[in-house]
Homo-oligomer: A and B are copies of this chain.
Amino acid sequence: MENTFKVEVYYEDTDLSGAVYHANYFKFIERARSHLIATLEIDQLKLLKNDMMFVVRSVSATFLKPAHFGDCLDVKTAFLRIGSASIQLKQKVLKSDECMFVALIKIGLISKGRPTRFPEVIREKLLNKDRFSN
């Protein structure tokens, strides 16, 4: 399963270099993850009410090409590994077919402030992700 999410670049995303401020790519790919999680019918607000939330444990990212104001970008998200307590994702930001940014992201879950394994219902949705349309 590879999920695609569209991002448009606005003034707020750029810096004085004229290009997207580097930290904002992490916002773009987070939007894509939130969208993907919703697609999998995992309700993050319900999780939060139960004092659980997904957190980023680590990222490893390369900035390949600068994106600019007005660019329409695609964020492509692929699952690399679904463990019992963490997920590994590969996320790319593309302009047309050119890759601007690529990141490996490790996501975990915390419950009441502590790392926890995924509840069975969430793990099942993650494992059955290919059932959900993009």
List residues of chain A with CB under 8 Å of any chain B CB: 8, 10-12, 14-19, 21-24, 26-27, 30-31, 34, 38, 44-45, 48, 53, 55-63, 66, 68-70, 113
- Jot down 19 A-B pairs with beta carbons below 8 A, ordered by A: A10-B34, A11-B15, A12-B23, A12-B27, A12-B30, A12-B31, A16-B18, A16-B19, A16-B68, A16-B69, A17-B48, A22-B55, A23-B23, A23-B24, A44-B69, A55-B66, A57-B63, A59-B59, A59-B60
Say what secondary structure dominates the interface of chain A: mixed
Closest residue of B by beta carbon distance from A20 = B16
CB distance from A63 to the nearest CB of B (A): 6
